[in-house]
C-alpha cells in the first residue's frame, strides 16, 4: 500500500488536533507539541511560533503555562523540556517570573518522569522564594508516585515544622494515598484522624482515597460505612465514588448493590470502563443468580475483542459448563485453544467434564480430553475416571481399558476409585468373573478391607 502524507502518524495527529483547536490557542499548542516525535523533542520552535510569551503575559497569574503543563502531563519528558524553556524566559531584559504553581507542576512532572532528583532540586530552588504548601505537596506526590514512602513522610514532617505554612488537605490526601496503596490501613486511618484533629476539611478526593484503599484491602464493611457516611455528610458521592463502589461491590459479590450502582453510573457515562465490566462479569460468574447468563451476555456486548483476557475466558467456560450450555461452552473452548489460553485449575476441568457427563456425550468428552492433552491443559484423575465411567455405561470396555494406558502415560497411578469404576462396569454388565477379579486386585494392592462398605456388597451373589 502506497503511503500518502496523511498516512504518517504525525500528520494524522496534526490533522485531528487542528480540528479540536477551537478550544483555544493553548490547546492548539499542546496538540502540536504532542505530535512531536519521541524521545525528547525540541519544543522551542513551536513555542515561539505560537508567541507563547505573549500568551503568558495575557493570562492571569501565568495560567497559560499551568494549562499547557496539564495537557502535556502524559508525556512528562516533553513537558519538562517546555518548563526548561519557560525558565529561560524567566530571566533576561524582559523577564516573565515563574510562579509557585508552575514550579509545583514541574515538580510533579519530574516525579512522573521518574526523576526524583530533579523534583527535589526544583523544590529547593522554589521554596526560597515561595514558602507555600503547594510545593511541599508536589514533592510529596513525586515521592509517592515513585513508591518512596520514607522520603514522602520526611517531606511531610518538614512541612509541619515550617512556620511559614502548614499542611493542607492535599498533604493529608497524599499520605492517605501512600498508605492506602501499600495496604497500611491502620496508618491511613491514623492520618485521617490527624487531619480531622487539625481541622482540615475533607474533600471528595479524601473519601475516594479511603474507599479505594478499603476496596484494595477487601475490607467491604469499612468501604460501605465510608460510603454511607458520604451520603449523610456534606461531601456527597459523585461519579468517581460510584465507580469505586461498583468495583468494590463486584469484587465482594454484592450483586444487587452492584446492579444498583451500575444503573447510577450508566446514567452519567456513555461507556463504563472495560476493567469494571470485566469485574462485573466475574461477579456474575461466581454468583448463583438465576439470570446470570443473560446479564453476562449483555455485559459482553460492552467490551470488544481487544479487551480479551484469558482468565475471564476461562471463567466463561466454567459458567456455561455449569449451566449445561454445552454448545456455547465448546465454542469458547475452541476459541481458547486458538488463542493458546490454558486451563490450569482442576475446578474448571471438573465443570467441563461434568457437563459432558450429564449429557452423556462420551465422544465429545473424549475429543475434548485429547485436545486438552495436546494444549497442555490441567489433567487430573477425575478427567480419566469420567471417561472410564462413561465408556463402562456404554459397554465400550476396550476403550475403558485404553483409558488406563492414558493414565499411565501421564503418570496418574490407579486409585481405589479407578478399580471401583471398572468393577461397577463389569458387575452391571453381568460379567461377575471380571468383577470379582478386580476386587481381588484391590485386596492384593491394599485398597479394600473387611469393613469396606463399598467393596463387600459387590462380592455377594444375587439370590
pLDDT number for residue 3: 36
Mean pLDDT of 331-348: 92
State the Cα–Cα distance between residues 384 and 414, nearest whole angstrom.
Answer: 10
**pLDDT grade for 460, boundaries at 50, 70 and 90:** very low
Q: Give the residue, 429 or 140, on which the prediction is more confident.
A: 140
State the sign of the Cα–Cα–Cα–Cα dihedral 389, 393, 396, 401: positive
pLDDT of 353 strictly over 60: yes
Mean pLDDT of 25-40: 88
pLDDT of 21 strictly over 90: no
State the Cα–Cα distance between residues 85 and 81, nearest whole angstrom.
Answer: 6
The least confident of 246-250, 288-292, 316-320 is 288-292
pLDDT number for residue 442: 83
State the Cα–Cα distance between residues 386 and 406, nearest whole angstrom.
Answer: 13
State the Cα–Cα distance between residues 9 and 91, nearest whole angstrom.
Answer: 37
- Per residue in 414-451, pLDDT (tens digit) is 888 888 889 889 888 888 888 888 888 888 887 775 55
E-strand ranges in 109-252 read none
Mean pLDDT of 22-31: 82
pLDDT of 454 strictly over 80: no
pTM: 0.82
- Tell me how long the chain is: 463
3-class secondary structure, 415:
coil
pLDDT number for residue 453: 53
Mean pLDDT of 372-398: 91
pLDDT number for residue 16: 37
Q: What is the DSSP letter of 182?
A: T
Burial 122-154 (b: 16+ CB within 10 A, else e): bbebbbeebebbbbbbbbbbbbbbbebbebbbe
Residues 6+ apart with CB under 8 A from 338: none
State the Cα–Cα distance between residues 203 and 408, nearest whole angstrom.
Answer: 65
3-class secondary structure, 265:
helix
pLDDT of 239 strictly over 50: yes
If we measure between CA atoms, which residue out of 231, 159, 143, 150 comes closest to residue 198? 159
Amino acid at each position: 500500500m502506497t503511503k500518502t502524507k496523511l498516512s504518517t502518524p504525525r500528520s494524522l495527529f496534526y490533522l485531528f488536533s487542528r480540528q479540536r483547536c477551537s478550544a483555544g490557542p493553548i490547546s492548539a499548542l499542546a496538540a502540536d507539541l504532542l505530535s512531536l516525535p519521541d524521545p525528547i523533542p525540541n519544543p522551542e520552535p513551536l513555542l515561539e511560533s505560537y508567541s507563547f510569551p505573549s500568551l503568558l503575559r495575557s493570562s492571569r497569574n501565568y495560567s497559560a503555562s499551568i494549562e499547557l503543563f496539564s495537557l502535556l502531563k502524559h508525556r512528562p519528558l516533553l513537558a519538562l523540556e517546555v518548563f526548561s524553556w519557560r525558565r529561560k524566559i524567566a530571566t533576561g531584559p524582559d523577564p516573565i517570573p515563574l510562579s509557585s504553581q508552575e514550579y509545583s507542576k514541574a515538580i510533579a512532572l519530574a516525579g512522573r518522569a521518574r526523576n526524583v532528583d530533579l523534583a527535589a532540586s526544583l523544590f529547593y530552588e522554589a521554596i526560597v522564594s515561595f514558602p507555600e504548601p503547594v510545593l511541599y505537596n508536589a514533592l510529596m506526590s513525586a515521592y509517592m508516585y515513585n513508591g518512596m514512602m520514607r522520603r514522602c513522610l520526611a517531606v511531610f514532617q518538614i512541612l509541619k515544622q515550617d512556620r511559614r505554612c502548614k499542611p493542607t488537605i492535599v498533604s493529608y490526601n497524599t499520605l492517605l494515598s501512600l498508605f492506602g496503596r501499600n495496604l497500611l490501613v491502620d496508618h491511613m486511618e491514623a492520618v485521617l484522624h490527624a487531619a480531622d484533629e487539625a481541622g482540615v476539611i475533607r474533600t471528595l478526593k479524601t473519601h475516594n482515597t479511603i474507599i479505594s484503599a478499603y476496596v484494595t484491602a477487601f475490607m467491604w464493611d469499612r468501604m460501605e460505612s465510608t460510603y454511607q457516611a458520604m451520603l449523610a455528610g456534606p461531601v456527597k458521592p459523585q461519579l468517581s465514588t460510584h465507580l469505586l463502589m461498583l468495583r468494590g461491590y463486584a469484587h465482594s459479590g454484592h450483586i444487587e448493590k452492584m446492579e444498583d450502582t451500575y444503573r447510577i453510573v450508566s446514567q452519567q457515562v456513555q461507556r463504563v470502563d472495560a476493567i469494571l465490566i470485566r469485574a462485573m462479569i466475574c461477579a456474575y460468574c461466581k454468583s448463583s443468580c438465576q439470570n446470570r447468563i443473560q446479564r453476562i451476555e449483555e455485559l459482553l456486548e460492552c467490551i470488544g475483542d481487544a479487551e480479551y483476557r484469558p482468565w475471564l475466558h476461562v471463567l466463561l467456560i466454567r459458567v456455561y459448563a455449569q449451566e449445561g450450555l454445552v454448545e456455547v461452552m465448546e465454542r469458547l473452548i475452541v476459541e481458547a485453544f486458538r488463542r493458546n489460553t490454558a486451563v490450569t485449575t482442576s475446578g474448571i476441568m471438573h465443570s467441563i467434564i461434568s457437563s459432558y457427563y450429564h449429557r452423556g456425550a462420551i465422544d465429545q468428552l473424549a475429543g475434548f480430553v485429547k485436545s486438552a492433552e495436546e494444549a497442555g491443559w490441567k489433567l487430573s484423575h477425575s478427567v480419566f475416571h469420567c471417561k472410564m465411567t462413561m465408556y463402562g455405561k456404554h459397554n465400550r470396555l476396550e476403550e475403558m481399558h485404553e483409558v488406563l494406558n492414558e493414565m499411565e502415560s501421564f503418570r496418574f497411578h490407579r486409585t481405589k476409585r479407578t478399580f471401583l469404576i471398572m468393577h461397577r462396569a463389569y458387575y452391571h454388565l453381568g460379567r461377575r468373573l471380571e468383577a470379582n477379579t478386580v476386587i481381588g486386585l484391590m485386596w492384593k494392592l491394599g485398597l479394600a478391607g473387611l469393613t469396606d462398605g463399598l467393596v463387600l456388597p459387590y462380592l455377594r451373589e444375587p439370590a
